[in-house]
Amino acid sequence: MFISLSYQEGTRVNSSKWIWRSVGSISIAATLLLLYGFIAAVRSITAPELMVSTPPVNTGSSQTPAAPAAATQTGEFRVAAIGDSLAKGTGDDSGSGFVRRSVTLLNGQEGHKAQLINNLGINGLTTQGLLTKLDEPGVSYVLKKANVIIVSIGGNDLFQGAQAAQTGKEPPTLIGLRKALPEASKRLQKVLTKVGKINPKAKIIYVGLYNPFSDLPEMKVPGNLVVTEWNLAAMAITNQNSNMTLIPTFDLFQQNLSVYLSSDHFHPNGQGYQAIAERIAQGFAVAATKDTDQADREQQSASSQPAEVKKGGNKE
């Protein structure tokens, strides 16, 4: 009996140490991600041109990414959205969501035009469901017509059982929430890779996750930790492709949860969607301007090169 109790007590101590180590390390990551979002928000107001974090290009080629160049050359953003209920705009009484709001903000900005090709958002969609949808010819057709693709997915993978906390049922634990993380993040990578293969010329914008339950004591810490892990995984994925961008939302809702959430305590309301749309529009408008400048420099370089060759030939 004594041995059994000692073993159980030792197991609890080891488990407790593991949990606190995990909480400590992920808390540091959460703080860094929150700080990044806060700085991005401040910069979007005080210095919008610094807002966008452009992923490092590692293609082995000096060629300019085709998607942004196509958007700036035509002067038109052709936007398609795909994913879950946030992509659809659930919770927004106007029905606009962040997709239509982003298009409205982009339209006319810096002389560009923007139009919505289609919104393929579906309530309750998971990463597995989206992988299946991407195989449908109709979905591929829509994505191929766009030069900007907004993706929102992952919330239903992580928080399928979290809404139980609102109904008095036993809320999920940190260990329970983290069970879905490894496989779901692998599927996210497959989703973004597949979208990129369907339309390799499009700019792909992935909307990061927030914790809709951070005001519930039993869900604040585990929810924040898991969402932070997810967003860090998403950042690692998007940084591998120069046409992909992660739009952070964690800090927006962490500071304004009661203001930005709809009555269902899960989806954003109109104000929440507007905040996300502003992040998307500010970031992409600056990226497009940078791409235009880069294209102009390359064009000038290309036009001057024949003259230099000719000059060299005359000297010979």
Residue range 70-96, pLDDT digits in tens: 554 557 899 999 999 999 999 999 999
Residue 307 has pLDDT above 90, yes or no: no
276 touches 253 (CB < 8 A): no
Task: Evaluate whether residue 303 is within a structural domain.
Answer: no
Average pLDDT for 268-295: 78
The predicted model scores a pTM of 0.71
Could you tell me the CATH number of the domain that includes residue 79? 3.40.50.1110
pLDDT at 303: 59
| Least confident range of 106-120, 185-199, 244-258 | 106-120
d(C-alpha 261, C-alpha 253), whole Å: 8
pLDDT at 8: 46
Q: Identify the residue with better confidence: 51 or 144.
A: 144
| Average model confidence (pLDDT) across the chain | 77
- pLDDT > 70 fraction of the chain, expressed in percent and rounded: 63
Residue 64 has pLDDT above 70, yes or no: no
Task: Evaluate whether residue 20 is within a structural domain.
Answer: yes
> Could you list the residue range(s) of the whole structural domain that residue 139 is in?
5-54+64-295
Q: Phi and psi dihedrals of 215, rounded to 5?
A: -90, -5
Task: Evaluate whether residue 291 is within a structural domain.
Answer: yes
Average pLDDT for 296-315: 52
Task: Evaluate whether residue 25 is within a structural domain.
Answer: yes
Task: Evaluate whether residue 311 is within a structural domain.
Answer: no
Number of domains in the chain: 1
pLDDT at 231: 98
Task: Evaluate whether residue 236 is within a structural domain.
Answer: yes
Task: Evaluate whether residue 166 is within a structural domain.
Answer: yes
pLDDT at 296: 55
Q: Is 182 exposed, middle or buried (0-12, 13-18, 19+ CB in 10 A)?
A: exposed
Task: Evaluate whether residue 306 is within a structural domain.
Answer: no
**Greatest Cα pair distance in the chain:** 99
Q: Phi and psi dihedrals of 232, rounded to 5?
A: -65, -40
